[in-house]
C-alpha cells in the first residue's frame, strides 16, 4: 500500500498536552502519540504523485481569516455497535465549516471524489478494539475535557505511512491563511 494523504489542523503543544494527560486508565486502548494528534479536515487516501501536485496547487488558493477552536468534551465512534475510536471533540464553528468547505472544493478541483461522510470535528486520541475495557468510566471521568480557545492560522497536508507500530504522519506542506 502506498502513502495516504489527509488535510488537518494541528493543535498547539499545550492543547496536545492536555489530551495526552487524559490518556490513561483504559485497558486495551491504543493511545495516539503526540505527533498523531490533529483535527482532520479531509481524508484523501492513496494518491499518485501528479494528483498530489495538483492538490498542493489547489490548496494554495484556500484562504480564510484566522479563527479559534477549543476542545469540547470526549466521545467515541462505533461500527456495528463496537467502539473503535475515542476522541476529544472540537467546538463546531462557522469559520471552521467555511475552511472545511473551501478545502473540500480544492480537493475536488484536484480530482478527488466528493467526501460523502458527515464532518464531525474531533481529534482522535485512541484506537479501540473488542479487547478494550468498557468506556463508560473513562468517558464519565473525562467529560470535563474542555480547553481555552486556541488560534488557528494554518492547516497542513500530511502523508500517512503504515508501520508495524501504527501510522506515521509526516507534514508535507503548511498552508497559512492570507
Q: pLDDT digits over 84-125, tens only?
A: 999 999 999 999 999 999 999 999 999 999 999 999 999 999
> What is the pTM assigned to this prediction?
0.94
CATH code, domain with 136 = 3.90.1140.10
Contacts of 61 (CB under 8 A, 6+ apart): 106
- The total number of residues shown for the chain amounts to 178
**Residue 178's pLDDT is what?**
67
**Locate cell 507534514: which residue?**
171
How many structural domains compose the chain? 1
Q: At what angle do helices 94-109 and 49-60 cross, to 10 degrees?
A: 140
Q: Which H helix or E strand runs over 16?
A: helix 13-20
DSSP string, 18-64: HHHTT--S-TT-EEPPGGG--EEEEEEEE--HHHHHHHHHHHHT---
CA angle at residue 94 from 93 to 99, to 5 degrees?
Answer: 100
List the domain range (segments joined by +) for residue 145: 4-176
Nearest CA-CA partner of 26 in 90, 85, 72, 73? 85
**Residue 167's pLDDT is what?**
83
Amino acid at each position: 500500500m502506498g502513502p495516504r494523504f489527509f488535510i488537518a489542523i494541528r493543535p498547539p503543544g499545550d492543547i496536545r498536552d492536555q489530551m495526552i494527560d487524559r490518556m490513561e486508565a483504559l485497558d486495551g486502548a491504543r493511545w495516539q502519540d503526540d505527533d498523531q494528534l490533529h483535527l482532520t479536515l479531509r481524508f484523501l487516501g492513496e494518491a499518485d504523485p501528479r494528483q498530489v501536485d495538483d492538490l498542493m496547487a489547489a490548496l494554495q488558493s484556500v484562504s480564510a481569516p484566522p479563527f479559534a477552536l477549543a476542545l469540547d468534551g470526549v466521545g467515541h465512534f462505533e461500527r456495528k455497535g463496537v467502539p473503535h475510536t475515542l476522541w476529544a471533540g472540537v467546538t463546531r464553528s462557522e469559520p471552521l465549516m467555511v475552511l472545511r468547505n473551501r478545502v473540500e472544493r480544492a480537493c475536488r478541483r484536484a480530482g478527488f471524489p466528493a467526501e460523502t461522510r458527515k464532518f464531525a470535528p474531533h481529534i482522535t486520541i485512541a484506537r479501540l478494539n473488542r479487547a478494550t475495557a468498557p468506556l463508560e468510566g473513562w468517558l464519565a471521568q473525562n467529560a470535563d475535557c474542555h480547553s481555552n480557545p486556541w488560534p488557528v492560522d494554518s492547516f497542513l497536508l500530511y502523508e500517512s505511512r503504515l508501520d508495524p507500530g501504527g501510522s506515521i504522519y509526516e507534514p508535507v506542506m503548511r498552508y497559512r491563511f492570507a
